[in-house]
Every structure is written in structure tokens, then in C-alpha cells.
Structure 1
Amino acid sequence: MLTLQEACRYLRIPEGTLRYWRHLGSGPRSFKIGRHVRYWRTDLILWLTEQTDRAQSR
């Protein structure tokens, strides 16, 4: 389980970008524990794979 900051480091993107994608519903799957947003590492990998597949199919 990763924090927002850890997920950003893993994806190598700014926090604002991940927050914005979460707001739009277009980023990797996330969930909240209390007031804190968390990500499963496997969901980040799956989302990255989907983005790669989508880019290659264009």
C-alpha cells in the first residue's frame, strides 16, 4: 500500500498531476483510509500497462 507521495515517486509525476487525474477519474485506482488516499502498487502497474496498450493501439 502506497501513499500519494510514494505513488507519485513510483510513477515519476508531480503530486498535482496525480491529484488531478484522481479528480477526473482517469488515473490509477485509489482508495481512502480515513482521510488518506492510498494506492496498491499492483493497481499502478496495471494502470501503466493499460496506458501503454492504449497508446500502442492508436
Structure 2
Amino acid sequence: PHETPQQWAVRIRAPLQELLSKRKYSLYHVYCLFDSFEQVESKTYYINDELYEDHF
């Protein structure tokens, strides 16, 4: 099921505000945020502390 940008914004607003208020965010959190919108065309992951990407 696809959601509109507005629906996505409503869904992630509370978790995002919590992360930002605690100042506990990272590149991983930013990636997950955008991946939750289901329009990310690559997958990023870590192996032995090195960042890799698979492009779809």
C-alpha cells in the first residue's frame, strides 16, 4: 500500500520529534526515515563497519 507524502509526514512526525529532542540520531536513522517512505532506490548496509550500497 502506497501512502501520500502527507500521510507519511503524519506517520513519522512523532518518532522523528522524539529522536531530535533526545539528540540521538545518526546516518542510519536518516536512512530509515527516508526508506520508510518506500521511494529509496538503493539499500545501504554495513559489513565490518564499512558502508555499502546496493542500487536497485
Identify the structure with bigger relative contact order (alpha carbons < 8 Å, sequence gap 6+).
Answer: 1
Structure with greater Cα Rg = 2
Q: Determine which structure has the larger helix proportion and give its number.
A: 1
TM bucket by the smaller chain?
A: under 0.3
The normalised TM-score by structure 2 is 0.27
